[in-house]
Amino acid sequence: MARAGDADPVMIATETATAMRHLDSSGLVVAARRVLQRHPTNGPLWWVCSHLVTAPEHGARVLSLVDELDDDATSSRLSGALADDARVLVTSWAPTVAAALRRRGDVEVTVCGRSYGSSAMVRSLRRDDLSVRQVDIEAAAVSMERVDVVLLEAGALSWSSAVAALGSAVLAAVARAFDVPVWLVAARGRRLPEPYLEVMGRSIEATDEPDHDRLDPRQVAAIIGPDGRSAPDSVSLAAECPLATELVASLR
């Protein structure tokens, strides 16, 4: 799993959890550190490893963690929160957002950016016959004139920091300038302790060609998660897993 490359973050997390099921405690910590070193910005992976490392019986915890990720209701909550015939703006590949838009079918989607992930988002939505247009990131300001809400999918977040696809910080800033609400979509396993986001931030800064942005989740209009829509506050941004200091120390 450490060599899984750009595979889906949830798939990496669930497969890692399954692979760790029969390890002893010392082997579990070593394996968790190794896979996190390879995937330092994978929120669900941090969530899984944190729960397993701190569980009294980690083998028994694996199946429930996998079920929680598989049964995540965030896309359904987002679908229900969108207004009829909503005009939304997204950037890059965002699986939870894409699933919600497919559920609706009546939305008009603008995908901002020309990256591989952005083009993948366009292709995926067009296969389901949604109304989709793709524009350059430089056209974000013009696009805001025909957008009701900007949807950004968080790979991970804490009280003061969120990690999202490259271009998300620009779109959030432009949206605020045009008074367009920004919703940060945070599926199961994305809310993490602050030290984990600090590790992610250092990883992004150390990369010559980063593919992630960092933004302040307290500046968005709403957080959309498994429990629905809420304001960015101490409850909606609270960590969903315990802090495992042995994981953080290995990645400083």
Does the pLDDT value for residue 203 go beyond 70?
A: yes
Alpha helices for 105-161 (secondary structure H) = 116-127, 140-143
Query: How big, in percent rounded to 5, are the helix, strand and coil portions of the chain?
Result: 50, 15, 35
Structure tokens belonging to residue 203? 């990883």
What confidence score (pLDDT) does residue 249 get?
79
Q: What is the pLDDT of residues 3-56, one digit of tens each?
A: 444 578 999 999 999 999 989 888 999 999 999 999 999 999 999 999 999 999
Question: For 34, phi and psi rounded to 5 degrees?
Answer: -65, -45
Domain with CATH 3.40.50.10470 in the chain: 74-230
Does the pLDDT value for residue 62 go beyond 80?
A: yes
Q: Which of 121, 33, 79, 102 has the alpha carbon at shortest distance from 228?
A: 79
**What homologous superfamily does CATH list for 74-230?**
Translation initiation factor eif-2b; domain 2 (3.40.50.10470)
Triad 161, 219, 240: Cα angle to 5°: 45
Does the pLDDT value for residue 107 go beyond 50?
A: yes
Hey, which residues does 149 pair with through a beta bridge?
88
Separation CA 84–CA 133 (nearest Å) = 19
Q: Which of 246, 236, 248 has the alpha carbon at shortest distance from 74?
A: 236
Hey, which residues does 146 pair with through a beta bridge?
none
What confidence score (pLDDT) does residue 4 get?
47
What confidence score (pLDDT) does residue 165 get?
94
Does the pLDDT value for residue 125 go beyond 70?
A: yes
What confidence score (pLDDT) does residue 251 get?
64
Please state, rounded to an integer, the average pLDDT across all residues of the chain: 93
In three-state secondary structure terms, 83 is: coil
Angle, nearest 10°, between helix axes 9-19 and 25-38? 160
Does the pLDDT value for residue 65 go beyond 90?
A: yes
Question: What pTM did the predictor assign?
Answer: 0.94
Structure tokens belonging to residue 240? 């969903």
H/E segment holding residue 165: strand 162-165
In the chain, the percentage of residues whose pLDDT exceeds 70 is 96
Separation CA 118–CA 125 (nearest Å) = 11
What confidence score (pLDDT) does residue 6 get?
58
Q: What confidence category does residue 152 fall into, taking pLDDT thresholds of 50, 70 and 90? A: very high
Q: Which of 181, 164, 188 has the alpha carbon at shortest distance from 45?
A: 188
Separation CA 128–CA 8 (nearest Å) = 20
